[in-house]
Amino acid sequence: MDATDPNRGRFIVFEGGEGAGKSTQLKALVARLRESGLEVVSTREPGGSPGAEALRDLLVRGEAGRWSPMSELLMMYAARSHHLETVIRPALARGAWVVSDRFADSSRAYQGAGGGVAPELIEQIDAAVVADTQPDLVLVMDMPPEAGLARAQARGDMENRFESKGLAFHARLRDGFLRRADALPQRYRVLDADRTIEAIAAEVWASVVAAFPDLERRT
């Protein structure tokens, strides 16, 4: 897939730790892009396709020690492969925009920085599975893990396996996201997620328009 093809859709990803408000911001952005007349596919990881959602259930529920970081990594990329093949690539090819709640940087942060899987191995698998379907823009929703975990735990749902991994794990993965964003400043924006929903949404939109200036002509 040629990322420079003007007819190809654009691929935007929200990333961040637990309870950072990604899903709320994703919904607002998707609505705004649709108002601009774009076809937008709103999706998430792990999941986003029926096969990948089945893997999600195995990954996000149960005891923290149920899977090693290596097992998690391979399952995350198995799910990602199916999601790419059946949802993301067909959408981008027909000109739709794809907005995903998490993607491969969550594997780098959670299984790599947090879980200790070697970065070189993650990059080898990523090169084979994601290949040139890399996101055009990654919005990292950043906040202290203490605050994010408190918010996530207040939701009280059953998808809490990663939340239960402890504060040190969550501090490492936050650093992982920030280091990745630092290394690739042209494709990444770090947003302070510890603000009002409206303030963050305004910065999300400004970041998206800055990355895709043609959008302004549509609005």
Helix segments in 130-219, DSSP class H = 145-155, 167-183, 197-211, 215-218
List Cβ neighbours of 116 (8 Å cut-off, separation of 6 or more). 69
Minimum CB distance to ligand TMP smaller for 154 or for 213: 154
- What part of residues 40-59 is at the interface with ligand TMP (CB under 6 A)? 45-46
Judged by CB under 6 A, the stretch of 100-108, 140-148, 192-200, 205-213 that binds ligand TMP is 100-108
CB < 8 Å & 24+ apart, contacts of 192-200: 192/142, 192/143, 193/16, 193/20, 193/21, 193/141, 193/142, 193/143, 193/148, 194/143, 194/144, 194/147, 197/21, 197/24, 197/25, 197/28, 200/21, 200/25, 200/141
Q: How far is the CB of 43 from ligand TMP (least distance, A)?
A: 11
> What residue type is 22 in one-letter code?
K
110 binds ligand TMP (CB under 6 A): yes
**Nearer CB in complex with ligand TMP: 49/107:** 107
Each residue 135-174 as x (binds ligand TMP by CB under 6 A) or -, in order, gives: ------------------------x--x------------
Q: Note whether 60 binds ligand TMP by CB under 6 A.
A: yes
Q: Is 15 in the site for ligand TMP (CB under 6 A)?
A: no
Applying CB under 6 A, the span of 89-97, 105-113, 129-137, 190-198 interacting with ligand TMP comes to 105-113
Q: For the chain, what is the radius of gyration of the CA atoms?
A: 17
Residues that bind ligand TMP (CB under 6 A): 18, 45-46, 60, 76, 102, 106-107, 110-111, 159, 162
